[in-house]
A and B are shown apart, each in its own frame.
Chain A
């Protein structure tokens, strides 16, 4: 799969680190620690099993193995894995919720044509 595209590298927020504030940029992000604020990136987000995110999140693909409290916008796909929790509304082009996952909120499907994500992709092969 070409889920690992667009962004240059993967940033990691590790287990014992807390951040309060805003993150933005063009990068993949892996969260294992705690984050509070807003995240707006043109990359993918993986919230790992120990990750807790109290934030509105905007990204290409979002994979939740930990917790997100806040509204989520995935320009492509949102995936909540079996131990994942999403408390908040989501908007995504496609959603994948595994058995055992927790999702409380509204879901809003985006139309593929409406997504501005295409322009960020450098020639796919």
Chain B
């Protein structure tokens, strides 16, 4: 019993100062992040096209085109009419139009979507509505499938380690 208490006391002091440092820097980095994140409030109406880099949060209504290199968040209550392209797309609001993500799409439980989605990865929460077509694009850039028999492997000894490598 005594051993446990002793161990606890001895190990705590060196661990304590560690979290104190990032706490201060987290505040400044949060501010920097805020400067990078484009934010459209709920009282804003935008017609037109948006392009560029960085993350974008939209709470208001938007009609037009999105072409973004970065993360797009469509908040609950937001309305979008038009085609959307981004790296990641998180949807909590309404979208009418085609959605294209180069990495992933996430539909939260308040999402309402009318239109097609094209994405390699998709997650959907219960309650989300999705009327349209889904296409999980083929990843052609991946290594060729090992289906085709290769006559190159002449010795069985070299074949086994090779197979292990590809699995890793």
**Chain A residues with a Cβ under 8 A of chain B:** 7-27, 29, 32-33, 37, 41
**Is there an interface contact between B53 and A12, defined as CB atoms closer than 8 Å?**
no
**Is there an interface contact between A16 and B49, defined as CB atoms closer than 8 Å?**
no
Bound-state CA distance A15–B35 (Å) is 8
- Of B38, B45, B52, most buried by chain A (CB within 10 Å of CB) is B38
- Of A7, A17, A29, most buried by chain B (CB within 10 Å of CB) is A17
**Is there an interface contact between A8 and B41, defined as CB atoms closer than 8 Å?**
yes
- Of B34, B36, B37, B43, most buried by chain A (CB within 10 Å of CB) is B43
- Of B44, B46, B51, B52, most buried by chain A (CB within 10 Å of CB) is B44
Q: How many residues of B contact A (CB 8 A)?
A: 25
> Does B64 touch A at the CB level, under 8 Å?
yes
**Is there an interface contact between B52 and A17, defined as CB atoms closer than 8 Å?**
yes
**Chain A residues whose C-beta falls within 8 Å of the C-beta of B64 in the assembled complex:** 21
Bound-state CA distance A16–B47 (Å) is 19
**Is there an interface contact between A11 and B44, defined as CB atoms closer than 8 Å?**
yes
Bound-state CA distance A27–B60 (Å) is 10
User: Which of A15, A19, A33 is close to B46, meaning CB atoms less than 8 Å apart?
Assistant: A19
Q: Whose C-beta in chain A lies nearest to the C-beta of B64?
A: A21
**Is there an interface contact between B52 and A16, defined as CB atoms closer than 8 Å?**
yes
Bound-state CA distance A14–B56 (Å) is 9
